[in-house]
Structure 1
Amino acid sequence: MASPNSYKLSCSIPGHEMDVRGLSAAFFPDGAFVSVSRDRTGRVWVPNASPDRGFTEMHCMTGHQNFVSCVCIIAPSDTYPRGLIATGGNDHNICVFTLDQPQPLFTLKGHKNTVCTLSSGKFGTLLSGSWDTTAKVWLNEKCMMTLQGHTAAVWAVVILPEQGLMLSGSADKTIKLWKAGRCEKTFTGHEDCVRGLAVVSDMEFFSCSNDTSIRRWLVTGECVQVYYSHTNYIYSLAVFPNGQDFVSTGEDRTLRIWKQGECQQTIRLPAQSVWCCCILPNGDIAVGASDGLIRVFTEVEDRMASPQDLQAFEDELSKTTIDPKTGDLGDIKMEDLPGRDHLDEPGNRDGQTRLIKEGQKVEAYQWSVADSRWMKIGDVVGGSNQQTSKKVNYEGKEYDFVFTIDINEGGPSMKLPYNVTDDPWLTAHNFLQKNELSPMFLDQVANFIIENTKGHTLGAAPPSAADPFTGKATGSTSCIDTQSCGGAYSSAASRQTSTNIYFPKTDGVTFEQANATQIMAKLRELNGGAPGEYRLSEEVLGSLEKLLVSVCDPCASEQPTTEQISLLWKTSHWPEDIVFPVLDILRLAVRHPQVNESLCGGDADDGVALCNHLLSLMKPQARPANQMLALRTLCNCFSGWRGRALLLAQREAVLSRAADLCSVCNKNIHIALATLVLNYAGSLHGQPDLEAKAQCLSVASAALESVQDKEAVFRLLVALGTTVASDQTAQDLAKSLGVTSQIAKYTSVTDPAKVGECCQLVLKELQ
C-alpha cells in the first residue's frame, strides 16, 4: 500500500506519434486537458466515466504546418463560454481553437521563428514567446505590442494575475518583468537558459533553467530561494493551488514533486526528455515526454493504476538504458561497484540512486520511499566500463557524432556535434543560431540528424552521412508654462461626476503661450556667442522675427513666406546647446496652416525629416529644454490636418521615443508628454486601429508610474478615457494592463478636483 503522500502512475495515454511538448488543463469538460506534439497535432482528452480509469481523446486539432511546441487555455468569455485553446508552433504561427472543432478558429501571425511558449491573462489577453527573441501581446486576433529586449530565444512567458505585469524568460539567462509594454526590471542569477516560469502569486513566481536550478523570486527583484535536485536541464514547472508546492520535469528523465520547499518524491520515466507537466483540477499530475506518451500520476489510491499496469510501468523503466552524462550517476568504474547485496541496505531519501555490478552489466536502482524498496531504473551504458565506446572529441567535449556540414560548394565547413541522448530539434536549432543560418533549415537539419543516427546506440562510431545541404557525404527660459487643456477644464469642484465633460476629447491640445520679445532677445544673445559658421546675419534674424510675429498674432496682415519657413528649418539645426529659442519659434510656427502644410507634408520627405529631427532632440541623454520643446512642437503639429496625418503615420516611432522620457524628472516634460498621448488618443477615437490604441494605453500607463504633477496626471487620465470610451476591446486591453488598479489612487484627489472627477469617470468606463 502506498504511503499517504506519494504519487503513483494512474494511466498512460497513447495517441501522439512524436514528443509531447505541451500540456494544459482545460476549463471544459470537467477534468479535461489538452496536449500538443511534434506530430503537428493537439488533442483534447476527457476523463473516462467512473469507475474506469484513464482518458479518451475527444478530438484531434490540426492546422499547424510543422511541429506544435506549446499550448495554453484562454479563459471562458461571453462569446466563448467554454474557453479557447491557443497553440504555438515551429511554423511561427499561433492557432486558436474552440474546444469542439478540429480546425483553427483563427491564426495569429507575426513571429519570425518558432513560437515556443504561451500564457493567457484576463479579458482574453494572450502572451507569446518565440525563438525570434521577442514576446508579443495579442488581443482579439491582433498583436497589441511587441516586447523587445532579450538577446536570445524567449523560452518562457507568464502573465501575472494582477497589476498588468508580464514575465519573459530567455536563453540569454535573464528574466524580464514588463508593464504596459516596457521592461521594468531584469532578473539575473540563472547561469544558463531560462526554460520555464510559473506564477506563485501576484508578487512571486518560480523559474527553472538549463543550469538545473529552480528559483523563487519576488517581482521586486529578490531571489528568495534556490532549489536543487534535478541533475540536467529543467524544462517545465507547475504550481499546486496552494501556491507553495509544485512539480518540475526535465532532461534527467524525472518528474519531481516539491512540498514545503523540499523535493519529496522523484518519479523516473522510461523516456529521456520529460518535456512538460500540468496539474489537473483533481490534483493529479499529467506529464508529456519524448516517447510520445502522456502519463498521469495520482496520490489517490482509487485512481492508481492496477497492480499489473504498475508492474508493467516498472518493467519498462528497468529496461531503459542510461547515459551517465545525462544523469546523476557520476563517473563509473565497474571494478569499484558493489554487487546486488548493496541493495539490502535501505536508501535515505526518495529518488536516491545506486549502481551495482551484475555480471558484465551496470544496473541503476532508485530508492522509493513509497514502497520502501529499490526499483531498477535501467542499465547504464557509455560509462568508463564500456570499453567499446568510440567518442569524437570536439571543442573539449566528447560526442557520439560530429558531422561536417557544407552549406555552399567550396565554402567553409561547419561542425555539428550530437549525442544520441540529445534532442535533435534543439540541437538543430542551436546549430542554426550559432552559425547564423536561416531557421527555415530547421526541419532539414533535424531530419538529417534523426536519419543519420537511426539505430545507433550510445557510444557508436559516427557513420558516413549525406550533408543535409549539399547531399554529399561527409531646457527654454522663454517658455515654461504649464497651461491647462483649455477652458472646458477649469476648476469644477461643484460639478457632479455623472456629467462627463472631460472625454472623449478629439480636438488637439496645443501649447499657445508665448512672449515673442523674450524669445527674440534670447535668440540674439545666443547668436552673439554662436560659432562662426552658425552665426546669423541681422537680415536672417529680422526674417525670423517677422515669422514669429506673423504666427503669434492672428490679426497679422503678413503671412509666413517660403523663405522664412526655409530659414526656420535650417536654423532649427543649430548646436543643441543654443537651439532652444529657435525650437520655441518652431513650436509656435507649426500651428500656422501654411507652416504646418509646408513642414509636415508639403513633401512627404519633409514631414519625415521634421519628425526625425524632433525625435533626435528627444533622446534620453538630450538637453531637457530641447526635449520639452520638441514634445510641444509635436503636440502643436496636431493643429493642422497635415501635421496630424504625419504624426499618425509616424506614431510608433514618436510614442516609443516619448515613452523613453517617462522617467525624466521634469514636470514640464511630463505635461508635454501627457499632451502628446492625449492628442494621439483624440485622433484615434472612433477608429478601428486597436494596435495604435494599445500603444497609447501602454505609454499612458508607463507615464503614470513616474509622473507626479497633477496637470500631467489629468491629461493622461483624459487620454485613457478618450481611448477606452465606447470601445469594449480597448477597455478590455486597458484592464489587462492593470490600468484600473493603477489609477484608483486618484479618485480621492480634490486639488484640483478635475483629477478625481476624471479618474472616477475612467473607472466607470472600465467597469
Structure 2
Amino acid sequence: MSGSSFYRLRSSFSAHDMDVRGLATAACPDGAFVSVSRDRSARLWVPNPSEIQSFTEMHCMKGHSNFVSCVCIIAPNETYPRGLIATGGHDNIICVFTLDKADPLFTLKGHKNTVCTLSAGKFGTILSGSWDTTAKVWLGEKCLMTLQGHMAAVWAVLILPEQGLMLSGSADKTIKLWKAGRCEKTYTGHEDCVRGLAVINDLEFFSCSNDASIRRWMVTGECVQVYNSHTNYIYSLAVFPNGEDFISTGEDRTLRVWRKGECAQTLRFPAQSIWCCCILPNGDIVVGASDGIIRVFTESEDRVASAQDLQAFEDETRLIKEGSNVEAYQWSSNDGSWMKIGDVVGSSSQQSSNRVMYEGKEYDFVFSIDVNEGGPSMKIPYNVTDDPWLTAHNFLQKNDLSPMFLDQVANFIIENTKGHTLGPAPTSAADPFTGAGRYIPGSVGGGQGFGADPFTGAGRYIPGTGSTGAVPSGGADPFTGGGAYSSSSLAKATTNIFFPNTDGVMFEQANTTQILGKLRELNSSAPADHKLNDAALNCLEKLLVLVTDLKSQQQPTAEQINVLWKTCHWPEDIVFPVLDILRLAVRHPEVNAQLCGGTEGASLCNLLLGLMSPEGRPANQMLALRSLCNCFSGSHGRALLLGQRDAVLSRAADLRSVCNKNIHVALATLVLNYAGRLYGQAAEIEAKAQCLSVASTALEVVQDREAVFRLLVALGTTLSGDSTAKDLARSLGVSSQISHYARVGDPPKVGECCRLVMDELQ
C-alpha cells in the first residue's frame, strides 16, 4: 500500500437482493471473495479475465432459512485443498460449504439465537458468536466448548495467531480474552456495543464499536490508541498486511482508510449502512452495503473504473432537510463536499399527477429526514392514507435506527402532511381471556359461523368456548381486573398494572355437554383399536365433570386418568375433544401430579410437542398449547415445563407463522407463563434470552391485539428487575421491534403496556 495514492472505484455491481452483511477474502481462486446477504445466500466472486475492472459470480450457496449474517473462510487442507466457506445466520445455524456445491457440506447447530459473527483458525477450528450471549468453538461437525460470560449478544469473535487464544466482543461493551475455554481477561473502555475485531499481530488487535471509536489493544490488556473520525456506529474492520494501516466502515455511510494512525481518506456511499469490508491480496478493498451492492476500490490506475462509471458514482444524490425545506444534494468526492442541486420536497397535493416516484412506486410525498447529527439524510416515502407512526417505525427499522427517533420522525411526517392520519383500528368483539366466543378451528379468515362444527360440518362443539359460544358479559381481564378491552383510563395510567405477572394465565372455560357429545360422536366412528367401551366413556365423563369444578372434594381415580391418557393417543383427526378434556384436567393437582411427574411427564410433553408440529391440525396445535399453559397451574407441571423449556418454546415458536389468531394467543400465553416462572431468577439468563427471542420474533408476525398484549406483558415480566435481561433485550433490538405498538389506542392497554416495556429499556 503506497503512502500517497488514493482509492478510487474499480467496480460496482448489484450482488444481492438485500443487504450485503458479510465479506471474506477467499483462499482461492486468486483474487476471489465471498459475500453473504439478508437474501439468504452466499456468493463467490472472481475477477473477470476479460475485463480487469469487473467480477463474475462463480458460485451461489444456499442453506439458510433466514438472513445470512456473517462469513469466514476455513483454510485449505489435504481433504479440501481449496478451503471451505462457513456462514452464520438468523436461523441460529452455521452452514459449511465447499466451492463446488450449492448445498452445505454440513451444518452446525447449538446456538439458541442468531449467529452474527465467525472466525476461522488453524486446523479448521471455527469460533462463532451469537445473540444468545455465547461463543462456541467448533471442529468439524462438533462443538468443542461454549464460552459463557458475556451479559449480552456476542457481536464479534476472533481467533488470535497464538494457539488457544480467542477474543469475543459483546453488546455488553466488553471484550474478553479466552484460553482453553476460560476467560483470562476482560477489556473495558468502549462505551457501547463492540461490533468488530481485527488482528494486528501476535500481540495487538483492533476493536470497533457503536460508540464510533476504534481502539488498538495490547493482548496484555492495555488500550494504546483510540481512533476517532466516524460519526456513527462502526461495523467492520480490515487490516492491511503491513499490520499498521487498516480500513473501517459504518452507519455514517462511509469507508475510511487509515494510514499511520490517521484517517487518510473517506469514501462516501449512496447507501445508509456500510456493513462490511475485506482486503484482497492485491490491496483492493471490497465493501458491502445496505443497498445490496458490492463496490470494489483500487489504488491501481490499471484497474480504475471508466470515467463514465466514476462520474456515475459521484453523481449519486442525497436529500438533506434544511430548516423547513427538504433539499437535494449530491456528493463530490473530488471536492470533498456536498453540493446543493435543488429542492425535492415531494407533492403537497394528493392528485396523482403530482405524485412522486420512489423505488418504482408512486407516493404523495418522498421526504428526507436527518436523524444522524451532521450526517446525510434518508428517504421516507409516504401516502396520505398511511399511518404516520407505522411509517416512522418501518423507516427506523429498515435503516436500523434507534426507536428513540420514533416521535421525531412521526411528528415530522404529520407536520409536513397537514396532520392527516387514519382512523382507529377496529375493536375486537370478543374477550380472549375467557376463551369464549373466540375460536372456530379451520375457519381462519371466516367462512364458517358458530352454528357449524368446523371438523364435521355439523353440531356446535367449539374447543375452548363457553356453553353458547357467545361473548360473556363482563369478562375479567386478569392483568387489569377490568373488562379485557375496557377502561379508557389505561391510556392515562401512571403506574404499572401489567407486569411483572407471575400468577400465570390459564384457559379454563368449557362446555362439558358439547365436549362429551362430540367425544361420543367421534368414538362411534373411531377405529376398532381405539374405540372406547361404555365404562371407559363413563370414566371420562366423570373425570370431566370433576376437573371442571376444582372445588369438588372428590379426587380423580387412577382408572379415570389412565383412560384419559390412553385416549389422548387417538388419531389426530378425532383427538381434539380429548385434548380439550386434557387441558382442563391438568389444572387438577392430582392429574397434574400423575401426568406431569416422573417419566409420565416426558411422555406427555412429547405427545403435545408432536401435536404442535407446524404441519399439524390447527385445532390440535391450539389445544396442545393451551394444555401446556394449564400445566403451569401445578408444581409438577411447572417443574416439567421448566425442564423441557428449550424444546417446548422452540416448537411453540415455529407456530408463530401459522395464520391463526387463536394459536397466537395460546403461544403468547405460554411465553408469558414461562416469563412469570423465571421472574426473579437472575441466573436463568439463557432461559430469559429464549423468552425474549420468542416473544420479539412472534411480535413481528402476530396481528391479534390480545396476542400482542400478552407478548408485551411477557417481555415486561422478563425484563423487570433484571439488568442483564435488559442489556440482552437492548442488544437484540427489542425496542425497535415493538415501538410501533406504543401508539395503539384500541385496546388502550396495548399502547400503555408497550410504553412501559420501552421505559424498562431506557
Q: TM bucket by the smaller chain?
A: 0.3 to 0.5
Between Structure 1 and Structure 2, whose CA radius of gyration is higher?
A: 1
TM-score by length of structure 2 reads: 0.48
TM-score by length of structure 1 reads: 0.48
